[in-house]
Amino acid sequence: MSESQERDPLIQYDDIAQARERLTDETVVKRTPIEQSTSLGEMVDAEVYLKMEHLQWTGSFKTRGAYNKICQAVDNGADEFVAASAGNHAQGVALAATNCGADSTIVMPKHAPQAKIDATRSYGATVELVGQDFQEAMEYAQSYAAEQDVEFVHAYDDPHIVAGQGTLGIEMHEDCSDVDTVVVPIGGGGLISGIATALDHLSPETRVVGVQAEGAATVHESLAKGIPVTLETVDTIADGIATGGISDLTLNLIERHVDEVVTVSDAQIANAILLLLERAKQVVEGAAASSVAAILSDDLDVRGEVVMPLLCGGNLDMTMLQTVLIHALTERGQILRLRVKIDDMPGKMDEISGIIADHGANIQTVRHDRAVEDLTVGEAYLVFQIETSGAEHAASIIQAIESEGYSVEDVNRK
């Protein structure tokens, strides 16, 4: 990255340094730790240091940008703010506004996780649920701001927001000055824009890699076309980065300061959430886990490096956690669904259940299917859902049932 890139007219390192001077109240924004993960390091043949921003007071980085924006606006006479958010920006704006003695109204999509709605209200905001997605909530919030003549706080398309998020880049550099690669989730791009601008100034040799969910990826096409591309719909479990678009501001900064952008699937994100639970004992949301999913993917090589994935948020809805765990455990073969063809007569369920029990697996559910087109008279299917210790265990169970003469189908692998 060249010196000319460092002199960006929209946001400079000095803006980020000044934002950091404003973020001195530890009850609003605290310095979050880094923690080495030897388990992840062994998986990717690197030194892995997790930046634990999910331990922020609101559970995400968003308060940094919101506070930097709102405290300056209050100094200039503003006393009421409105924002649109799927959850994390909402809490950041609510906490920042309340701390600055101002009112806030947060517009959230109707499907926003209840935990994030409740948390936003607990920080002092009025919450309005509007629209089916972030884009609809955004349109309403912008109209509300114009009609009510109140200050609108954009989640990422604002230099003050970007500068506030960029304070994370300073912390990451100070905590691990020899880091080779940092990995940052991308939704609207404000977070990575700030971090990359800071690191380009402090450590231009550090590689900055962005990661998007496949179902909400817009950066590659935006860079190719030279204009922000917006998706009509998004489809990802990582709701924190499901904005479906970036802005001119963030596209400009990504183009100037970000070295690489990769995408990950929901299956990879789900697996990363589970790995972080098991190995790092950390509960993070999909957006945060995407950074770990990226270093585990074939698209990003970090072998031999010091690498820092950013865990940007920990506000994981418990219903989503259940969904993610079931999906990830199914991918691993720890939840196994088998369909076994039997002669429909007494004792068959008991016999097959005994085989499964003899192999130390637990049957969660079982059902008979008789009204299936490919069955002949007197045949039936038994469909088992089984807990196993993993793929090898699952394979041994299937083999044991087949060795008794039964036709077995792994329904998960269809």
**pLDDT tens digits, residue range 8-24?**
568 999 999 999 999 99
Are 133 and 267 contained in the same domain? no
- pLDDT of 229 reads 95
Task: Judge whether 224 lies within some domain.
Answer: yes
Final residue belonging to a domain, choices 301, 328, 355: 328
Task: Judge whether 158 lies within some domain.
Answer: no
Are 50 and 184 contained in the same domain? yes
Are 48 and 180 contained in the same domain? yes
Question: What is the total count of domains within the chain?
Answer: 3
- pLDDT of 5 reads 42
Are 69 and 133 contained in the same domain? yes
The CATH number given to whatever domain includes residue 223 is 3.40.50.1100
Q: Report how far apart, in Å, the C-alpha atoms of 410 and of each of 183, 337, 339, 341, 413 are.
A: 36, 6, 7, 12, 6
- pLDDT of 6 reads 43
Q: Which of 164, 207, 124, 125 is nearest to 21 (CA)?
A: 164
Contact between residue 257 and residue 206 where contact means Cβ atoms under 8 Å apart = no
Are 290 and 202 contained in the same domain? yes
- pLDDT of 414 reads 62
Are 239 and 109 contained in the same domain? no
Strand ranges for 167-226 from DSSP E: 181-185, 207-213
Task: Please state, in angstroms and rounded to a whole number, the distance separating the CA atoms of residues 60 and 64.
Answer: 9
The CATH number given to whatever domain includes residue 393 is 3.30.70.260
Strands 335-343 and 407-410: what pairing? Answer: antiparallel
Final residue belonging to a domain, choices 286, 306, 328: 328
Are 68 and 114 contained in the same domain? yes
Are 144 and 10 contained in the same domain? no
Task: Judge whether 209 lies within some domain.
Answer: yes
Low pLDDT (below 70) residues in the chain: 1-9, 414
Final residue belonging to a domain, choices 295, 328, 361: 328
Task: Judge whether 159 lies within some domain.
Answer: no
Residue 89: give the domain boundaries. 62-152
In the sheet that holds 34-36, the strands lie side by side as 34-36, 47-51, 306-309, 181-185, 207-213, 260-264
Longest dimension (CA), the chain: 81
